[in-house]
C-alpha cells in the first residue's frame, strides 16, 4: 500500500530530527570527554596560575603549566590575521557582488572558493618553504618562522570564508533598497557605503567571526610556520607558539593521563571557550542587526 503524504512528511521530519540530534550528541560527547580529561589538572595547579603563568615547561621538575604566552600568541596571531583578512575578504565580496561584471565574477568567484579547498598543510608548507625565507632575507631576521608569517598564512585561509559569506549577505539585500537610493540621486558607491553595507551588516559580521574562529583554531599552519617558541611576543616578528600548535606538537609525547596530558586537554578547554565566545558574539551581532525585508533598515 502506498505511503500517505502525512506519513512521508513524518518520516522526513524524523530523519532530519535524528540527523540534527546526532550532531548535538556528538558535540556534547566531545565536550564531556574534553572536560573529563582536562579538569583534573587543576588539582595540581590553580586556575589562576594555569591561565596567567608565564612559563610552559610541562616536562621539567617541578612542572610549569603557565599558558599565558600561548594565549597571547593565539590572540596576537588571530588579531593580526584578522586585520589582513577582514578588509581583503569584505572588499573582495563587495567587488564581486556589486561592481564586477558578470563575466569577471564568473572567473574570480570559483578561484576564491577554490582557495578554501586548499589543505592547511599545503598552505603551511608554502609559508615554511617560500614565505619564511623571503621574510628572513627582507627584514634581516634570525628566522622567518614567526608571528607575521603565521598571521599571513591564516589570513590567506580566512579570506575565502569571509568573502563567500559576506558576498551572500550582500546579495540578500533587497533590490528595492538599492533602486530607491539610486532614484534619490545617490551614486553607486554612496549606495554601497550607506545602503548595501548597513543592510548586510549582520551577514558580514557573521563572516568576520567565522573567519576569526577558523584562525584561532587552526593547527597545522601555526605548527609549521609560527616558530614554536612558548614566550610572549615582543614584536610581529617574534616566534610564537599558539595553543593549537602546542596540543598538536606535544600530545604524542605526553604520557597517557599524566599531568602533561591533562594540561594539554585543559588547553583544549580554553581554546573551546574562546571559539564558543566568538560564535556567541557572531550570533548576537547577527540577531541584533538582522535585516528582514526592506522596512527594517
Q: What is the DSSP string of 271-288?
A: HHHHHHHHHHHHHHHHHH
Distance of alpha carbon 142 from alpha carbon 201, whole angstroms:
42
State residue 127's pLDDT score.
94
Domain architecture of the chain: domains with CATH: 47-289 (1.10.3720.10)
Give backbone dihedrals phi and psi of 65, rounded to 5 degrees, phi first.
-115, 45
- State the 10-residue block means of pLDDT for the chain, 297 residues long: 75 92 93 94 93 90 90 94 93 92 88 86 93 93 93 92 91 88 89 90 87 86 91 93 92 88 94 88 74 54
State residue 205's pLDDT score.
87
Beta bridge partners, 65, equal 56
State residue 3's pLDDT score.
67
Nearest to 243 by CA among 215, 210, 280: 215
Distance of alpha carbon 196 from alpha carbon 74, whole angstroms:
33
Q: Burial letters for 3-22: b for 16+ Cβ neighbours within 10 Å, e otherwise?
A: eeeeeeeeeeeeeeeeeeee
Q: Using CB atoms within 10 Å of the CB of residue 32, give its burial: 0 to 12 exposed, 13 to 18 middle, 19+ buried.
A: exposed
Amino acid at each position: 500500500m502506498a505511503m500517505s503524504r502525512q506519513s512521508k512528511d513524518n518520516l522526513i521530519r524524523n530523519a532530519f530530527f535524528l540527523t540534527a540530534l546526532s550532531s548535538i550528541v556528538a558535540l556534547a560527547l566531545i565536550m564531556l570527554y574534553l572536560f573529563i580529561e582536562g579538569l583534573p589538572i587543576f588539582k595540581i595547579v590553580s586556575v589562576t596560575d594555569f591561565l596567567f603563568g608565564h612559563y610552559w615547561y610541562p616536562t621539567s621538575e617541578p612542572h610549569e603549566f603557565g599558558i599565558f604566552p600561548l594565549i597571547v600568541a593565539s590572540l596576537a596571531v588571530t588579531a593580526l590575521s584578522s586585520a589582513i583578512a577582514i578588509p581583503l575578504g569584505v572588499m573582495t565580496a563587495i567587488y564581486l557582488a556589486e561592481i564586477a561584471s558578470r563575466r569577471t565574477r564568473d572567473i574570480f568567484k570559483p578561484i576564491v572558493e577554490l582557495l578554501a579547498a586548499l589543505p592547511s598543510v599545503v598552505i603551511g608548507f608554502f609559508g615554511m618553504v617560500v614565505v619564511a625565507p623571503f621574510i628572513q632575507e627582507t627584514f634581516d631576521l634570525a628566522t622567518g618562522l614567526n608571528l607575521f608569517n603565521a598571521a599571513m598564512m591564516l589570513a590567506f585561509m580566512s579570506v575565502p570564508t569571509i568573502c563567500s559569506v559576506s558576498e551572500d549577505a550582500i546579495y540578500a539585500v533587497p533590490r528595492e533598497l538599492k533602486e530607491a537610493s539610486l532614484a534619490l540621486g545617490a551614486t553607486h558607491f554612496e549606495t554601497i557605503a550607506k545602503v548595501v553595507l548597513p543592510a548586510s551588516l549582520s551577514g558580514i559580521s557573521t563572516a568576520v567571526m567565522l573567519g576569526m574562529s577558523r584562525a584561532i583554531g587552526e593547527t597545522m599552519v601555526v605548527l609549521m610556520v609560527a616558530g614554536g617558541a612558548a614566550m610572549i611576543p615582543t614584536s610581529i616578528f617574534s616566534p610564537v607558539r599558539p595553543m593549537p600548535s602546542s596540543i598538536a606538537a606535544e600530545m604524542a609525547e605526553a604520557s597517557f593521563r599524566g599531568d602533561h596530558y591533562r594540561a594539554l586537554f585543559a588547553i583544549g578547554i580554553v581554546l573551546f571557550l574562546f571559539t564558543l565566545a566568538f560564535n556567541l558574539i557572531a550570533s548576537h551581532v547577527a540577531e541584533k542587526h538582522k535585516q528582514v525585508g526592506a522596512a527594517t533598515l
